[in-house]
Amino acid sequence: MDFFDNHKKLFTTAAAFFIGLTLLVAVIPAFETDKINQPLPGAVPLSPAAQRGKALYVANGCIACHTQQVRNVDMDKVWGKRPSVAADYAMDRRPDLWHNTATLMGSERTGPDLTNIGNRQPSKDWNLVHLFNPRAVVKESVMPAYPWLFIYKDNPAKTDIIVNVPAAFMEGKTGKYVATKKAMDLLAYLQSLKQVELPDGTTAPEFLYKKAAAKTETGAGGASADGAALYTANCQSCHQASGEGLPGAFPPLKGSSVVTGDNLELYVGIIMNGYTGREKEGFGPMPNVGTTANLSPDEVTAIINHERTSWGNSAPEVKVEDVKRFMEAAKLSAGQ
């Protein structure tokens, strides 16, 4: 019983037990997990600019409203092609000795998940306008604006990166807002967030709790999906609810010859593979929305028919079988 009366022995034993238990339960498993959990073969390390952008993302508390995890539930299919796996986070490391690893998986979705935002919305123009004032591109957004990331200039230099801020948000100013280095760093980080393909032969986890598709009235083109809802989810942030786009940033669909014309192959190709070539007109490249969102022929048809019959457009509706044929051709042309 002398052991319990000797405080040195008692506290030394308790400390040794605590240290040993910590090593067994926390430290050693952490090292073993670090060895086992390797990045996916296609994962790309963050560039120096993206690293600085990540620090800005952390410093401004973006994790409070945005997650970076695609859960294995069917409602999360809009955020990525597959549920997230442990290897997606294997490249997360502490930035230096004094800062811990920033865990950015998040737990709140006041705003959308950003796991695959680099593929879903890669547009430099859209992201910069959105950072300047989110209401400029998403009217209902509750995200705070970050105007301090931009500088107003009456006469921007040729090397300045001009932000196409709509006139309604210029407060009567006639100059231009240009992006600072910090804005470009944050943009680099957002554009780096891309879900990596799993290695060949690896089965992706399934999305669970799938809901039975609601019965909807079949349109003239044979599409049963809700074109208006799909447009809102995949197209509206750039082309706007009015279909008028944003001058100097995103082209209008209202009265567009591509939307109302007869070249369905071109139309479907733009949706599936994106489009560049209108930069001289001030419009940024369009991402491959159909491929990124994994849209089905029925869904693409519904979107097209919604656009062809909205905002004063009165073009004939297209058929699912025709869209499906051109989607397959678009995949072949993209080498998929």
pLDDT of 43-84, one tens digit each?
A: 999 999 999 999 999 999 999 999 999 999 988 988 988 999
Please check the confidence at residue 220 and state whether its pLDDT lies above 80.
Answer: no
Angle subtended by helix axes 320-333 and 297-308, to nearest 10:
110
- For residue 318, how far is the Cα from the chain centroid? 29
Please check the confidence at residue 317 and state whether its pLDDT lies above 90.
Answer: yes
Angle subtended by helix axes 264-273 and 297-308, to nearest 10:
120
What DSSP state is assigned to residue 138?
A: -
Q: Is the dihedral of CA 51, 176, 125, 76 positive or negative?
A: positive
pLDDT confidence of residue 257:
92
Please check the confidence at residue 336 and state whether its pLDDT lies above 70.
Answer: no
Q: How many angstroms separate the CA atoms of 203 and 135, rounded?
A: 40
pLDDT confidence of residue 1:
59
Whether this model's pTM surpasses 0.85: no
- What is the mean pLDDT of the segment spanning 254-258? 93
Task: For the chain, give every domain's residue range.
Answer: 48-192, 220-335
- Helices and strands (H and E) in the chain: how many: 14, 3
CATH placement of domain 48-192: 1.10.760.10
Per-residue model confidence as pLDDT tens digits over 150-176: 999 999 999 999 998 988 899 999 999
Please check the confidence at residue 212 and state whether its pLDDT lies above 70.
Answer: no
Q: How many angstroms separate the CA atoms of 134 and 151, rounded?
A: 17
Q: How many angstroms separate the CA atoms of 33 and 116, rounded?
A: 25
Domain covering 220-335: architecture = Orthogonal Bundle (1.10)
**220-335: same fold as 48-192?**
yes
| Residue 221 binned pLDDT confidence (cut-offs 50, 70, 90) | low
Q: Which of 57, 41, 60 is nearest to 49 (CA)?
A: 57
